[in-house]
Amino acid sequence: MPPRPEALRALLVSYVFPPTGGVGGARVSKLAKYLPAHDVVPAILTARNASVPLVDTSLERDVSPDLEIVRAWTLEPGYGVKKAVWAASTTSPATKGAARRGTAGLARLARQALVPDPQVLWQPDAHRALLGRLARRRPDDVVFITAPPFSTFLLGPLTRLRPRVALVLDYRDEWLTLRNSYEMIAGRAAAVTGALLERTLLRLPHVITTATEAFRKALLDRFRFLDPARVVTITNGYDPDDFPKELPEPPTDRFVVTFAGTIYKLTSARGFLGAVRRLHARAPELAKSLEVRFLGRIVESEVDAFAGTESLGVVRTGFTPKDGVISALAASHVTMCLQAEVAGVERIYPAKIFELMRLGRPCLTISPPGALTELAVRHRLGPVLHPRDEEGIAALLEAQLRSFRAGTFPTRSEAVDTERFDRRLIAGEFARVFREAVSRARSR
């Protein structure tokens, strides 16, 4: 059923959008897919040549041929060049010759100049594209800007120049946590500048949305000028269309544990892999039945944690398209969600947790106490352990393997109250927020 002529028009701004791979674009692509059912007509503003490590064309199945997509050029180099510059700027000077030290110095200078992140080089053409839409006789009713990258929020001031157009800023991740934990984020001086930018930009939106309630509370604690009524939590979720009716069953000849996603500082597998080593040391015959699969990219700073694990049944498959990820997770006895002990992690849960929830396999959550562990316990997703508790993780794996060999291991979780995270319902929550923001923009 097509939206009515008077339906709300929403421009969704996201640096990443299919076919860009990874979970970053899912919040917007699923929103664009389901907003029309809530009488909102979406359009997209995204990067034409996003400098990203992954492309997954299978994600384009969510993109309607009727969806208007505006793609703006970024001045960034390719991801491989960015990665090399980042590596050069972080290598110890003692390991370099004079020429390489000079190159590394220039690389560090470039990183410091790209505030708050390298994707700021998308802003010139993104501003041009947004200006064209705002200058139309009938502009979009609401501009929704999602981050990271948080340089995308720099489009907020331009949006506010057009009267009666609402502005909504969306935190998929927390800016403060991203500065501390993610790849290719500039150093201390740029972080200070980024903090000042955040404080300035947060005075502009009619509504702010966050992906977790902990993000919301942290924002309100840090920025006392924010009106709590204008800061709203809307979680990520799962799309039922991503799950085929017939899912593969786990194998009977081995016990499979699967993690899907990027392994980096925030999702380090070091504690879990330490537990696997302990298990093989004390119960080698039993541990032969264990297969651990990692589907996704592993950043260079975490590769050393996997040294020698191939002989322990650890399999690294690299990037896997979305369809393959769902099938591989389904064909597992246990799925896994990882978070390391880093600053701010207590306010985070990965978007992938909702797909694991919907899948219904027992989910092993390894994380410090916080938003993720509370979610896992509240919805009965499976066991929860701390990443430093290698002995506890090893004991759990041993018990699960013995249950598997005895034929008593349950392949379904006891998950409860998961329907609320359906992307179709979440699109309705965003539609209500958009209307509220438009009402505020027009009442001034």
How far apart, in whole angstroms, are the C-alpha atoms of residue 261 and residue 354? 13
Note the pLDDT of residue 184: 47
Query: Pick from 439, 435, 423: which is nearest to 33 by CA?
Result: 423
Note the pLDDT of residue 109: 55
How far apart, in whole angstroms, are the C-alpha atoms of residue 74 and residue 111? 16
How far apart, in whole angstroms, are the C-alpha atoms of residue 224 and residue 221? 6
The answer on 43 and 134 residing in a single domain is: yes
pLDDT tens digits for 194-207? 789 999 999 999 99
3 inside domain: no
The answer on 380 and 255 residing in a single domain is: yes
Note the pLDDT of residue 194: 79
Question: Residue 59: which domain range?
Answer: 8-237+422-443
- The number of CA neighbours under 13 Å toward the Cβ of 422 is 9
414 inside domain: no
Note the pLDDT of residue 97: 57
- The most distant pair of C-alpha atoms in the chain lies apart, rounded to whole Å, by 73
Two tokens at 425? 């319902």
411 inside domain: no
The answer on 303 and 222 residing in a single domain is: no
Tally of domains within the chain: 2
pLDDT tens digits for 100-120? 555 444 455 555 567 788 899
- Cβ contact 335:363 at 8 Å: yes
Note the pLDDT of residue 118: 87
DSSP letter assigned to residue 436: H
The answer on 138 and 174 residing in a single domain is: yes
Note the pLDDT of residue 114: 73
The answer on 233 and 122 residing in a single domain is: yes
Strands 166-171 and 142-147: parallel
204 inside domain: yes
The answer on 180 and 300 residing in a single domain is: no
pTM (2 decimals)?
0.89
356 inside domain: yes
pLDDT average per 10 residues of sequence, the chain (444 residues): 76 94 84 97 96 85 95 88 62 53 51 77 97 96 96 97 97 78 56 85 98 95 97 97 90 97 95 98 97 95 96 94 91 97 90 95 97 97 98 98 97 94 98 98 88
188 inside domain: yes
The answer on 361 and 290 residing in a single domain is: yes
How far apart, in whole angstroms, are the C-alpha atoms of residue 339 and residue 374? 13
CATH label of the domain that carries residue 61: 3.40.50.2000
The answer on 229 and 144 residing in a single domain is: yes
Note the pLDDT of residue 20: 85
The answer on 431 and 377 residing in a single domain is: no
